Amino acid sequence: MEYEKAWLKYHRLSNYKDCTFFCCIYVRESDLVIETAIKELQLAVKEILGIDCDRIHNPNGREEYNMNSGIYFVADQSIQKEGYHIYAKEQVIVIQAGDSKGFLYGVFELIRYLQRNQSVRNIDYKMEPDIPYRMLNHWDNLDGSIERGYAGNSFFFQDNEIMVNERTRMYARLLASVGINATVINNVNVKDCATDLISDMYFDKLRAMASIFKEYGIQLFLSLNFAAPMELGGLHSADPLNEEVRTWWKEKMVEVYQNIPNLGGFLIKADSEGRPGPFTYGRTHADGANMLAEAVAPFEGLIIWRCFVYNCQQDWRDKVTDRARAGYDNFKPLDGKFLDNVILQIKNGPMDFQVREPITPLFGALHHTNQMLEVQIAQEYTGQQKHICYLIPMFEQILQFHTYLQDQKDTIREIISGQALNQKNCGIAAVANTGNDSNWTGHDLAAANLYGFGRLAYQKDCTAEDIAREWVEVTFGSNKEMITTITDILMRSWPIYEQYTAPLGIGWMVNPNHHYGPNVDGYEYDRWGTYHRADHLGIGVDRSERGTGYAITYQEPLASTYNSVETCPDELLLFFHHVSYTHILKSGKSVIQHIYDTHFDGVENVENMMKALDKIKEYLPLAVYNRMVPRLEEQLRLAKEWRDQINTYFYRKSGIIDTKNRTIY
């Protein structure tokens, strides 16, 4: 399959003012990653400025002011790992970094200045990333399909073979350019051939892939099958306290690390949605994770253990069991029981990547456990990369959220950066939105989520809006009207998607299995624990202390805020409370009128978005616009479908008419 270079497709600048800086690169010592940084800089300078930027050995390792212009790589141990300081002085640009990855990230920052035609004459910019692991999770299967993939098939796997080729390198370049330093290439649901990834069938290809990644400062991780001792090793058990099982894992990891020395470690989905796990043997998740952690510890490996553990065999009649509580109930009691090379990976919300969910209370509840936030840029519930839904504003809110874990340093960002609890094995992971489509993400605007995830994770001082604008500029160029229009569309797209889909934090209401398109009762009488409980009088799940008690698993003052209908924020009201359709929201509208209004507005907003894009289409590459048009039409079609199904459903249930008398069926 053909592939494009996304935001790394460089455009020639004919009028760049500061070309003289880019004549040469002075480097003292080098290694694999610094070599990559040099090559990347040379490539960009050649393609953007048309200059052959020579590499010159600099024996002093210092910047030589006033003497020779150029870019100097200067090692500086005072700069934190993976950080850099870029500044200009006279004719010289200095990139200082504390380690080789810092040079690589500094180079990509400098390249962005060129891509955006910005002067570097007064550049003085220092960035030290706070989140240690910035990771992608691909849900790619070995047959080439992708679970929740909306951009074609896998570019890692095909017909149970691993593919390592030039696209692998392009992928690594894209990740490194936005600061992503780790990736899991296979689906968390490890079945069939994927179990064999830790066998000699696949070692050669994995080693080759890991070494390409290493050039770009990226560590390869794999998802693991907890039952591998049985399925691969022929044992009768996978019990984490069984000596034979433990020995099997230890020996297996020796073999794996001998063959793939750069492997970062493993991601594990256990006792979740039918996957095997320690519960089968009456053991805890700490028993399971620690067994694996001991096996990888000699190789400095990490075990990333997912907390997406809940009862997926619920009876819809049961109003006591609450899926939202499951993460907290399962993992809070295990706080402090995990080894230091275990990280718990926790989804942002307590359910599953809905358009709006509260932040999971588990983050405020763990004091002695390494944590990693899991978000999803694959748009499973947010329009499946046919609809525009820029998710970085949501992630920004998540990262800024105060958990009240302790008096200070209690935001999600402070927890997953390790600052809150003084930890080093922490991070953020996004379920990836890529596939082998030529533009990587299906919808061209979905690339903003991939780019934005990396940038938000790396660059602690950047807003979602800065990132959107930056992505538009590095991808589509410098026309002001175009930049403003697309940035504005991206920034409004998540709220608009929320307007025409499930209201006020209730979520779901999608077609079962594939999760695309409206189906209000699709999950209402099912076993997945995902209910809206609507009747003729009202809607919502009572998760207050009178209901499932979920609300009071938060730290104060969050518990009280969510527990009361009066103080619960409108956008989460139906997640926490069952209220009548005539209940008046803080906005002054009744619940039912809010439902009608937002659904009519949502469709209108999609129409406006399409008109706005049409106006600036001449500034977009024709191929990009042509790919976008059918998706925009599909977004409008489905927004109308959502509007009409939701409005009609609630009109029929409640019998309450729309005060504005619009068409409801």
Q: Is 380 a catalytic residue?
A: yes
Helix (H) or strand (E) holding 632: helix 622-654
Q: Apex CA 640: angle with CA 636 and CA 643, to 5°?
A: 135
Say which amino acid occupies 153.
N
User: Which residue out of 109, 322, 352, 414 is catalytically annotated?
Assistant: 352
- 277-301 b/e with 16+ CB inside 10 Å = b? bbeebebbbbbbbbbbbbbbbebeb
The rounded radius of gyration (Å) of the Cα atoms in the chain is 26
Cβ at position 171, least distance to ligand GCU in Å: 22
Query: Rounded CA gap, 595 and 520, in Å?
Result: 13
Query: Rounded CA gap, 228 and 198, in Å?
Result: 9
State which residue, 260 or 431, has the beta carbon closest to ligand GCU.
431
State which residue, 149 or 538, has the beta carbon closest to ligand GCU.
149
Q: Which of 269, 323, 386, 387 binds ligand GCU (CB under 6 A)?
A: 269
Cβ at position 431, least distance to ligand GCU in Å: 7
526 binds ligand GCU, rule: CB under 6 A? no
State which residue, 354 or 590, has the beta carbon closest to ligand GCU.
354
Question: Helix, strand or coil for residue 656?
Answer: coil
State which residue, 195 or 484, has the beta carbon closest to ligand GCU.
195
State which residue, 158 or 189, has the beta carbon closest to ligand GCU.
189
State which residue, 272 or 290, has the beta carbon closest to ligand GCU.
272
Residues in the chain: 665
Q: Is 166 a catalytic residue?
A: no
Helix (H) or strand (E) holding 609: helix 591-615
188 binds ligand GCU, rule: CB under 6 A? yes
> For residue 448, which of 470, 431, 477, 429 has the smallest C-alpha distance?
470
Of 265-273, 289-297, 386-394, 471-479, which segment contacts ligand GCU by CB under 6 A? 265-273
Cβ at position 524, least distance to ligand GCU in Å: 17
Q: Is 47 a catalytic residue?
A: no
Query: Rounded CA gap, 43 and 57, in Å?
Result: 19
140 binds ligand GCU, rule: CB under 6 A? no
Cβ at position 120, least distance to ligand GCU in Å: 43
357 binds ligand GCU, rule: CB under 6 A? no
523 binds ligand GCU, rule: CB under 6 A? no
Q: Apex CA 620: angle with CA 615 and CA 624, to 5°?
A: 115
Cβ at position 102, least distance to ligand GCU in Å: 33
Residues 142-161 within binding reach of ligand GCU (CB under 6 A): 147-148
- The pair of three-digit structure tokens given for residue 500, joined into one six-digit string: 């025409």
Cβ at position 277, least distance to ligand GCU in Å: 12
State which residue, 143 or 147, has the beta carbon closest to ligand GCU.
147
Cβ at position 231, least distance to ligand GCU in Å: 19
Q: Which of 68, 80, 91, 189 binds ligand GCU (CB under 6 A)?
A: 189
Q: Which of 308, 331, 390, 650 binds ligand GCU (CB under 6 A)?
A: 308
User: Which residue out of 200, 273, 300, 481 is catalytically annotated?
Assistant: 273
State which residue, 147 or 231, has the beta carbon closest to ligand GCU.
147
352 binds ligand GCU, rule: CB under 6 A? yes
For 186-249, give the DSSP string.
S-SS--GGGGGGGSTTTHHHHHHHHHHHHHTT-EEEEEE-TTHHHHTT--S---TT-HHHHHHH
Q: How many residues bind ligand GCU (CB under 6 A)?
A: 10
User: Which residue out of 82, 380, 437, 597 is catalytically annotated?
Assistant: 380
Helix (H) or strand (E) holding 71: strand 70-75
Question: Helix, strand or coil for residue 579?
Answer: strand
For 77-138, give the DSSP string.
TTS-TT-EEEEEETTEEEEEESSHHHHHHHHHHHHHHHHTT---TT-EEEE----SEEEEE-
Cβ at position 226, least distance to ligand GCU in Å: 13
Query: Rounded CA gap, 232 and 248, in Å?
Result: 10
483 binds ligand GCU, rule: CB under 6 A? no
Annotated catalytic sites, by residue? 273, 352, 380
Which residues of this chain interact with ligand GCU, rule CB under 6 A?
147-148, 188-189, 269, 272-273, 308, 352, 380
